[in-house]
Amino acid sequence: MAAISREEVAHLARLSRLAVTEEELATLAGQLDVILQAVAQVGEVTAADIPPTSHSVPLTNVLRDDVVASCLTPEEALSGAPDAAEQRFRVPRILDEDVAS
């Protein structure tokens, strides 16, 4: 049985902001299916009581003093921008007012 459907792959592409072609979708679905079946092996490990590891270093409280450091100039900041206007980054019209904070 396939671990992932073509529809799921299409959904993942949308979530990932990838405008994949139909042809690509078919290839990707097959490849992701093989990979997912392989990585699903982690499920074989009995690990219910094992704490997860998110960081490789045993550090805590790495904090910076609240002291102002130098900024980029606006020219430097905008130097790589595909498009800019009024010293701001220009983007095409936004469809989805996805505000969350």
Q: Please give the residues from 30 up to 49 whose contact with another protein meets the rule CB under 8 A.
A: 31-32, 34-36, 38-45, 47
Gap between the Cα atoms of 52 and 47, Å rounded: 9
Nearer to Mg ion, 75 or 98 (CB): 98
Quick one: tokens of 7? 């529809």
Nearer to Mg ion, 16 or 101 (CB): 101
Q: Does 23 bind another protein (CB under 8 A)?
A: no
What sign does the CA torsion over 5, 11, 16, 22 have?
positive
Gap between the Cα atoms of 47 and 53, Å rounded: 12
Q: Does 74 bind another protein (CB under 8 A)?
A: yes
Which does residue 85 bind out of Mg ion, another protein, none, counting CB within 5 to 8 angstroms by kind? Answer: another protein
HSE-CB of 93 using CA atoms within 13 angstroms: 1
Task: Give the amino acid at 83.
Answer: D
Q: Does 22 bind another protein (CB under 8 A)?
A: no
Task: Give the amino acid at 21.
Answer: T
Shortest CB 101 distance to Mg ion, Å: 5
Using CB under 5 A as the binding rule, the residues of this chain from 82 to 101 that contact Mg ion are 101
